[in-house]
Structure 1
Amino acid sequence: MHLSHRAALALSVIAGLALSGSAFAHGTMSKPLSRVKQCHEGNPESPTNPACAAAKAIGGAQPFYDWNGINQAHANGNHQAVVPDGQLCSGGNSKFRGLDLNRNDWPTSPIRADARGRYTFEFLAPAPHATREWKFYVTRDGWKASDGLRWSDLEAFCTLGNTPLSEGGVYKLDCPLPKRSGQHIIYNTWQRSDSGEAFYTCMDVRFEGGDGVEPPPQWQDAGAVTARGALEVGSTVTLRVFNANGNDLERPETVLAAGQTAPAQWPLVLARKVNGSAQHARVGVMRNGVITPVASATENRVYLKPGNRFELETRNPGPVDPPGGDYDFVYPAGIGSYKPGETVVKGTDGKLYACRPFPEGAWCNINADAYRPGTGFAWRDAWIAY
């Protein structure tokens, strides 16, 4: 491709993004993060979360960039009439249909009530509007992600009217938090008063505390996660948690893909991995007793149960064979840059695997245990034994 053609293509892409951002910018929940915003912040071009990757395979990456536009133009409060069962997370908008996949591995946010039994939701609104009604729902007890999401699965727990916009373009919505435990969906509808347009938000949350109200916080601040520079693609970041005797309790780790190596990004990736899998640690910023990961090189902190300690370990990717060798990378080195139909890696089992041709080959760059060549339960979706 000639340079002029590349420049023209780049300008057309930028123009398209600018158009979509200005024409459809309205908003989505930022605390806890909505499903679409989770995918947007998790490397939209090559999602590291398997559910986001599956959504991208259906609708491409553009819906993640248009995270603020899940709407129905003529809802006028009749949400169940315009948003069918099974399409709640997309708001009945086919552009976002990938968000409706019935999976239990969507990224989740921890949530719990404060001492009043309440929680302050935050809705980021690049284009604010006068409001007729905010309404919040939560999935019923016994609901399972594999069952899909229907209106009958939801129980309303909070209704608010017009709310002033706070600093930073955020609506702060104070609600009583229902009693739940484990993984659930909180669903929000935002009906404008100046038109019939409404917006819809799915939030995948993990209730901490069983009855919706946590006992006094058990986590103690053990120190900061400080990124002193960028890491390489394929680097492994590990949080080693051990007790006072030096015995390891757990070692949650993550392998960095393209787009995750900047100083403000890799602590966020590690924090989400820890908070989604660890029993003895949390990473993030604590506000009102809730620990939330943030994109920052210095603000995330490690919280441990009393008496425990931690070490942060980083390991560079394995060596890359010179051109002409039998393989291109020792997996997971170079993940995020694999070429469908071309790249060959040496797996952790010592065998060689070739990245499947496009479009299946896109799964080769998914940084998840499920697609680890030769050992992940879904590795054949991405790789061919060489």
Structure 2
Amino acid sequence: MIQSKRASALRKLPLAMAIGLATLASQQAFAHGYIESPKSRPFMCSPVGGALNANCGSVTYEPQSVEYVPASQQHHNGAYCPGDFTKCGPADDHIASGGLQKFNELDEQSSTRWSKTNIKSGMNEFRWKYAAGHASAYYQFYITKKDWNPNQPLTRDSFDLIPLLHENGNNNIPSTDVPTKHQVNIPADHTGYHVVLAAWRIADTDATFYQAIDVNIDNDGAPESQWSQIGAVQPEQLQIGDKVMTRVFTATGEQNARQTVLEISNTEQAQAKTWPFLLAEKVNKASAGYQMGQVGADDKITPSYGLNGIFKMAKSDVVRVEIQKDQASMPGTLTLSGLAADYTLNNGTANLHFNAVAQGGKYTIDATVFNSKGESIAHKQANAGENTPHFSLPVTDATAGDYDLVVVAKPEKGELLQKTHSFKLKDAAAGGEYDFVFPDGLASYKAGTKVLAKDGNTYECKPYPYSGWCKIYTPANNAYEPGAGRAWDQAWIRK
């Protein structure tokens, strides 16, 4: 093994100098952010944003990461270029996803696919919220044309290419605690459904962050809508025999008499975009203090095939509506991803990073590691009802040998699910040569540098132009940490 003399020297630096180097490393970390107001399309996909959009894919867990970079798969005119949206950036049809294939679900486009925020024409405040600060070059905001077709994929021809706002960032590093506020003048000749596209260009990297914001614009001086949205009915495929029920709550508790039940009796009703329409029709006829559908130009709620919002008036006593599905006909499934056949021990420790996905009900998922003697040596449990948890499970004080990872999903009712993954732990000497124990020697990483990561595996830094990302790391900004960060595979190759 090649030892890091530089890392040893750094540990001996005076405290003030060490703090300065840590600050520099933090500034080198990639920034991440999203539009929190009006809520952007990816933010509405996330639980923090209210989960008002569904079937969004992986952006559900990282709305701040819609990041156009040279490594993006879908470029305007086929290749990366550093200019603004009018000339460069994500390819047409892939604008909302920032050109990233892993976020392609964001590129679906129709007049009813996405939840919308009601705004007025004229001056509106848009707020960027930051998960990690970085020097900012500029901010831009674009809007779709008056005659755009909301049922076609977003292209540059969908937008007015003169930005509503171009605001210099002056290389300022925004705070993760305080959003930046931007005053955007929405044109008076735009009305109804439009998409505002926000772009945040980073000053000292090749990244630009994009956020699509779906809005309903009222510019005719009419009174504000009498409806406020309190939830959404998300489309998903059901089966014959399933039931969908509303649970209606007021300040005094659940009102069982106001429940609406839809029984799925044929394959047409079970279709993902059909049953929400049928449920909304039934709810709206029941006059239970709320309505389901889409808000029309006349401020009436109309049932929709697909996503249906849940709305109430100010005078209604309804405070919450939940959608409950009785899907006894759906068999439960449990799948695991991200696991390796073997892990290399680092000072007796290896870290298992993996995802578990349970379907068919609400589950509590736990993971336990057993050694060859049948002894449990590591355990973690996800929150109850969290059906898609990510586990980071450290195995400590371990020796080389055979191990089993047992993942169990316990349902609220029904059949317990279990998956077992067998793996080996290997001593470091058996894992091949490496140059550093990550993150020692961070500043010297280059193409071909090999490191031993926290999960016990050896990783090699990718060739240029990706090699620069290998040295981007702080504990607070670990997107490219080998084996652990959300985008580690953009910088590293697991050996």
TM-score when scaled to structure 2?
Answer: 0.40
The structure with the largest helix share of the pair is: 1
Higher RCO, 1 vs 2 (CA within 8 Å, ≥6 residues apart): 1
* Structure with the bigger percentage of strand: 2
TM-score normalised to the size of structure 1?
Answer: 0.50
Give the structure with higher Rg (CA): 2
